[in-house]
Structures are given as C-alpha cells and as structure tokens.
Amino acid sequence: MPRYGCFELRTTCSSCGSPLPINGPYTRFSCTSCFEDIAIPQDRIADFLNDFEEEYEGFTKGQGSGGTLMCGSGTFKYSHWRLPPRCSSCETPLEIPEVQGNSIIKCSKCSAEYHVFPAPDWLFKKVPSARFVITQQPPPGVTGGEDVKIDEDSTKPIVMSCPQCAGALSVSARSERIMECGYCNSEVYVPDAVWKRLHPVIKTEEWFVCFEGKNKIQLQVARRAIDLKEEKEELKIWQLKNAPKRAGMKFKSFLRIFGIFTAIVIVTSVILVLSGKNEKDISNLYTQYGPYLVIPVSILIPLWFVFKSTFSSRTGKGKECKRALALLAEKHDWKHESAEYKSSLGYIDTKYCGRDIEINPGDEYAMEVEINESPFYLKTEPPGYPHDGVQRFTTGDSRFDNLFPFRYATPELSERIEKSPEEAAVVLAPVYWFLDRWQQKLGRLKIDWCDAAVHLIPGHIELMDSGNRYLLPEDMEPLLEDMMVLAAGIDAIAAGREPELP
C-alpha cells in the first residue's frame, strides 16, 4: 500500500538571509532577493523524508509534526503530515495518474497545476521507499544538481519612463536593478513595484511524496539480520583458525609453570644426593616434606606473575617503553600523565595536528587517533559492535577478510568494495597502506565511527594475559605518525576525496 507524506520546508539564504522556500526535492535554488545560487545538501532533504517515514505509523490521517533544525548547512523550518496529495489552495484531493512518469495534473476544482515525477535517483538511494513526487514548483531537472531558477523567458518586458529624459525603457527579468538609459545614459533604479512584478517572491508550498515498501530503518534491520548470520558463521571459522594459536599460548604457559616446578624438584634432589642421602632417604624426605614444597611453589608462581605485571614499568622492555614515552612527551611539549607512579607506564592524552590522540601502552589499545565519522567499522578481534548505517562486506582478499572478522562500511562504500578488487583497493587504500607497514607486528586494530585504535604484538600478547603491555621504543613515534596518516586517509574517503598516502 502506498503511503503519502505532505511536506513544507524552508531555510534562509546564506548570502542575504532572506527566506528560501524548498518546494520539492531540489538541491539548488536561486534566492529571489539577491539571486545567489544556494546549494541544499542532498542528505538534508533525505533526512527529513526518512524522519517522516520513521514517525509515519504514529500519525493518523491529517496528523504530523514540525520544528526547527539548526545544523552546519543552515537553519531549516520543517513540517510534515500524513496526508494524501491535495490542492494547497482549495484542499481538493488530487487525482493521481496510474503511471507516475513526468506529467502535469490539475485540481478538479480550481485548476491549479501540479507536477508529477519519479523520485530522483539520488533521493531513491537515500530514501529507498520514495516512489514519486508531486510539487507545484516545476522541476527543471529531477536528478539534483540543476538550478531551480526564474524562467526569464516567460516574463514579458515592462515599459517604463526614464525619470531623467522620459525616454521609454524596456525592463525584463534579465535586466539589472540599476540599468542605463539608452537615450541619456543616466543610471536608472528600477522601482520596487516593477522589480517584484518581474521577480515574484516564491512562497513556501506544500509538496507530496509517495512512499512504498520498506523504509530505510526496516531495510537496515533486515540487512543487519543477514549480516549477523554471516558474521556468526565467519566467526566460527575465525575462532577455529585462531584456536591453535591461543591453545599454544596456554600450553606454553603450562610448560613454563611445570618447568619451574620440575627445576625446583631436580635442584632439591641434586642437593640431597650431594649431601650423601641415599634413594630411600630422599624418598622419605619427599614424603615428609613434599607438601611443604608444593604449597609455597603453588603460591610463589602466581605471585611472580603478579609481581611481573605490577612492576613491568620498572624493569626490562616496560622500563624502556616508559622512558620512550617520556621522551616523546618532552619532544612535543605534552604532559606524561601518571608518570609519577612507579608501577604505571603513564599515558599521553592530547591534541596533535588538530586531532585528539591518546598513547597508553599499558591499555588494551596502545594508541588511539580521532576520526571524523568514519564510514568503516573494522575490528580484528571479537566482540564487535558496528554502528548504525554500516553493512557487512567481503573483499575477496583472504589476507584482509581473515584479519577482520568484523568488516562493515556504509552501503555506498560496501557496494564499491564488492564491485571489484580494483575498486576495493581504492576504497580501502588507507587501511591497506597501514597493514603493509604494520601487519607483521599487529596485535589489535579497530576502526570505528570516532577513532582508530591499535596495539602491537610486543606488548599485546603475554603469557597468562598478565597485563604486561608496552610498545617498543623504536615503534612508538613511527606508529603515531602512521596512525595520523591512516585517520586522514579515512577522513578523505568519507568525504569522497582521494587519500594522500606517502
């Protein structure tokens, strides 16, 4: 069943501040006051329609809502109602043609003309339930990007007298507000009455959209269900591939504990043998004192790992990492937070080249760099929580797909990625560039809507997961610079630009 929405929308001219009606799904208008061309973002028009679709079921016939939206592209006053197409002048229902091509219909009562045309391609992509549009303002082009201007040829010239010599002046819509008299060469200011007659002010008018099928939210929910099913199946495969690695780490941890215990027993036995004890004596001693040996060992070994975790910043590579972090902070005049605590590596939380950054080697992610609304969600380890507006994709590149069990991008970029390997390489160029440089050392990588976060293997993988995380000094600054390049590249892709990669 078709659903109909009635819309009124207006903004202000960014040049002169005059009211600017938006009487249809058009993206360019000419201000009737200053004649500047004003661009309206496609996303802004689409958002109003999608918002109405979300609220549709909550309205009864004739009900609606409205308000004022202030955003980076201007201030918009909007209203929408659940109404079938009607004449704005006399409220007579309009008869909808069976075939909704480009056509003109008339009100059966007052003969007002309305233009009917299919939803523009750009609108259909952003509002998938939009089918056709009915407006009073004629569309010069329904693909977006064409100007909605005064039809200069349709306005007949007006003849007026020159106030200086009384010569006849022919004034048309093409004339300047201050024109030159052809007889006395005087500059003549066209009066308001004449000017407004030639340049009538466009009023805010109702326009209608027919919706049919699932709306954007319903389609996203259906797509998310499919994505979750595919994700679950791939995660099983991913876990099976990574299970041997994790089992190997646990086995190594067990071997280390067992080795320590065995070494203690062997050393004790050697001491007893060298002290002259025979086999029977040694057996009796182990029977008598064995429990006293096992209990301290079982306590000391966990204490060792706790000690190692607690004092990792004061010994070995952890100490080197803390020193490198302090030097990096000193170099850029940043504050090395928590450096006064001996058991802490400390961290840096600041701005660098206009971006928020955090360097915290002891955290789950050693480095985080701000991204401005990333079109990607990529994660190397579960769990994953992709944000709204992204969908799962597959590149066909086993290196990439196996690394990221969570692979999501905006629908537009997902389509491009799955179109061909060449297109995927263009869209994912910043990520591929980063992987080429760091994949051999990569422990964790996450890219979500607000930042990119990474931790390298040297401090990410530790036996018994004791929390001993750090960055090698030689990796710290190069990793930061490459993370900045990655973030800038993703911002460029999101804005439709070519990323600048070294």
Write out pLDDT tens, residues 42-84: 989 999 999 999 999 999 999 999 999 888 778 899 999 999 9
* Dihedral angle, C-alpha 70, 71, 74, 80, nearest 10 °: -60
Residue 33 phi/psi, 5-degree rounding, is: -95, -50
pLDDT in tens, 284-317: 655 655 555 555 555 555 555 555 545 555 557 8
Structure tokens at 493: 């892709």
Q: Examine the pLDDT at 278 and tell me if it is beyond 60.
A: no
pLDDT digit string (tens) for 213-248? Answer: 998 888 888 888 888 888 888 888 777 776 655 544
SS3 111: coil
DSSP state of 392: E
What residue has token string 């004192």? 289
Question: In the 8-state DSSP scheme, what is residue 423?
Answer: H
* Residue 250, pLDDT above cutoff 70: no
Helix axes 316-332, 473-494, angle to 10 degrees: 60
Tell me how far apart the alpha carbons of residues 32 and 155 are, in angstroms, rounded to a whole number: 14
Which letter does DSSP use for residue 439 in this model? Answer: G
Q: At 343, is the pLDDT very low, low, confident or very high (cuts 50, 70, 90)?
A: confident
Tell me if residue 115 falls in helix, strand or coil.
strand
Intra-chain end-to-end CA distance of the chain, in Å: 54
Q: How far apart are CA 198 and CA 69, in angstroms?
A: 32
At 16 the pLDDT is: 81
- Helices assigned H by DSSP within 333-472: 398-403, 411-419, 421-427, 429-438, 457-460
Contact present, 388 and 362 (Cβ < 8 Å): no
What is the pLDDT at residue 287?
A: 62
Structure confidence at residue 239 (pLDDT):
76
Q: How many CB atoms lie within 10 A of CB 261?
A: 15
User: Residues 435-440: what's their mean pLDDT?
Assistant: 95
Mean pLDDT of 405-417: 94
pLDDT at position 469: 85
What percent of the chain is modeled with pLDDT above 70? 78
For position 281, what pLDDT does the model report?
58
Per the CB < 8 A criterion, the answer to whether 357 and 464 are in contact is no
pLDDT over 80 (residue 209): yes
Enter the tokens of residue 45. Answer: 């028009």
